[in-house]
Structure formats: structure tokens, C-alpha cells
A = this chain, B = another copy of it.
Amino acid sequence: VAQRHPDPPVPLTGPAPLARTGRDAPDPAAGDSAGAALTAHLAAQATAFLRALRLRSQDERAAAAALCAAARRIEAALQTFEPLVDPVWAGALRTELAWLREVLCREHRHAARLARLTGALHRLTSDRDAAAGTMTVGAARAGALLERQLTLARTRAHSACLQAFGSARCHAIADAVALLTSEIPLTPAARAPAARALPPLARQAYRGLADAAGLLPLPACGHPYNGRALHATLADPADPDAPGDPQDLPWHRVRILARTFRYALEVGDADPASGAPDAARLYDAGRTLERHREAADAATAAATAARTPRITPATAYALGVLHADQRTEVEAARYAFGRLWQPAVPATSS
């Protein structure tokens, strides 16, 4: 990362700053400007990002988590407060950070998927007193098959990750993030006081989140055991190449919007105070939707494993049980999200 690549594939450094603001030049009458608040936030995240990048050789896993967290916060700030920054520059940086995160997270996600499915297999093999029973031959074979497939996927993801970190693209990203610690290309709107400029933009992010959540079938999902997440489990997919279940997409969208909004609240005085859930509730809602995503991914992995040629019927049977079990976990996560999102709704009587 230390040496710069001569020809980065994407011009991440972008145009020169449109307006200089910063901690060293506040408007004393109006408190910090919005630009100063945003600059301070991005500088802190960029510092965390670069520190994690340096520490990769020591603790790869912790460094990856820290890198992802900082990248997500930078992306969220650039997205939510886009009117305050050069939009072309911000868009390009967000795209590149998202690519790096995706490469970084993939290995971890394969590992988490295997852990989840192995855990489910053990749960499905335990008796009612939670004592571990003997697995059926099919369940043991299904476990071995999943371990083989997901370990292979994880190894491949690890190689891709190592390759990415040596790439010119990654070096260019590191350079672009390094620039965030000093100055960013602000628009004239960033000169307004933070307390006046930031909340409307956070509110706008919240409206996007609330609108997306409003499209979810929360009333139906508020009935325990509604069975909706299992719909189409045994249907021939309209598009066999589509990853996962199309019914999950609106939930994934809300997960990302909730995370973006939660991070936006960390910038300056961005608290929108408009009936939006607080950071703690947003965090819980986000965790619930991550569980939703993980269970959906695990169900897909079980379904994929069941299409392996020449497996025994007993193996396929266990994978079918596992698939349905994880789709029920998807349903459970939706139910839990509904209760977090609309806590005022009374409990349904069956």
C-alpha cells in the first residue's frame, strides 16, 4: 500500500475541493459548519480505515472487520450527505469501497454460513432436553457435504481477497481514503451550520428507510408461524440463476438503508428527531435483518448442496429439512424485525 501504483483504474482522487472548511475555520456565530462536521467524521473513519489496512498482517480477521466498519461509515456519510460533497467524486469512492468490502466480507460470510448450518444440524439432532443425539447417516453426510462445499468457497474467497489487496485498484482506494484525512471536495451548501444542514439530510435518509420498510408485508409477518418465508421453497425458480429468493430482496434493501441511516446519525448533530427509532433500536433492527440475510444465505447453500450430483436420498432429505429450517429462521427474523420496527402493534392472538 505504501508505494503508489502509476495508473489507478478509477480516478478516485477527483476534482479539487469546491470549498475549504474545517475545524480550523469555524463560523463563530453558527457553530461548526456542516462541511467541518462531515470532514471531521470522514477524517476519523479514514484514519481507522488506514490503521486497519496497516494491521492486516497481524490480525487479518479483526483488520477486515475494522476495515469494513470504517468503509461502511464512509460510504453512508457520502451517500446521506451527498449534497454537501462533489457527487461524482463521492459516487466513485462509494463504488470502490463497496467493491473492497464485498471482497473482504465474502470469506467471512462463507465461514459464518457453515457455522450456522452446522449449528442447525446439531440443533436438529438434539432431543428435547437439548442433549445431543446421534445424527442420522443422511444428516452426517449433509454436514460433510456442506463443510466441503463451503470450505472450498471460503478458500477461494480468501485467495480473491489476497489478490485484491495486492491490486492497483486497492492501492488507489487506499490513496483516496488517505486524502479524506486532510480535505474533501465540498459544495457551497456545506458552509451552512451543521445544526441546520445535517438534520434535513438525515431526515431524508430516514424517509427513504421508512418508505422501504412500509413496503414490507409487516402485518402478515407479525403473525407468528405465518409460513410466508417458506413459500416457493419447492417452486421451480422463474430465473434459476438468480441468487436466493426474490421475496427476500425488499428486506435486504431495508437492512442496508437502516445501516446507512444509523451511521448518518453519527455525523455531527445529525439527529433528525422526527419519530425515527434511536440508534439502539436501529442497531437491533439491523442485527435482526442481518440474521434474516444469514438465514436466507444458509437456506440457499443447503438448496445448492442438494443439487450436487450423485448424493444419496438420505443426504438430500437432511438438506431439505435444513433448507426449511433456515427459511423458518428467515420468517422468525422478519417477525422479530416487525416487533422492533412497530413496537406499538399489539401482539396478535395466534
Contact = CB atoms under 8 A, between A and B. Distances in A.
Interface of A: 121, 123-128, 130, 133-136, 138-139, 217, 224-225, 227-228, 230-236, 238, 246-247, 306, 311-325, 328-329, 331-332, 335-336, 339, 346-347, 349-350
Contacts of A335: 224-225, 350
- Copy number in the complex reads 2
Nearest to A247: B128
B234 A121 contact: yes
Given A124-B232, A127-B231, A231-B128, A336 B350 contact: yes
B123 A227 contact: yes
Contact of A313 (B121, B125, B313): B313
Contacts of A315: 313
B225 A134 contact: no
Nearest to A140: B234
A94 to B, nearest CB: 31
A227 B247 CA distance: 23
A328 B124 CA distance: 12
The 10 closest A-B pairs by CB, nearest first: A320-B320, A347-B347, A324-B324, A225-B332, A224-B224, A133-B235, A313-B316, A139-B234, A317-B320, A316-B317
A323 B325 contact: no
A55 B312 CA distance: 51
A123 B231 contact: yes
Contact of A234 (B128, B313, B321, B346): B321
A230 B124 contact: yes
Contacts of A349: 339
A320 to B, nearest CB: 2
Contacts of A128: 217, 228, 231-232, 246-247
The listed residue with most B CB atoms (<10 A of its CB), out of A130, A311, A320, A328, is A320
A16 B267 CA distance: 91
Contacts of A313: 306, 311-313, 315-316
A346 to B, nearest CB: 8
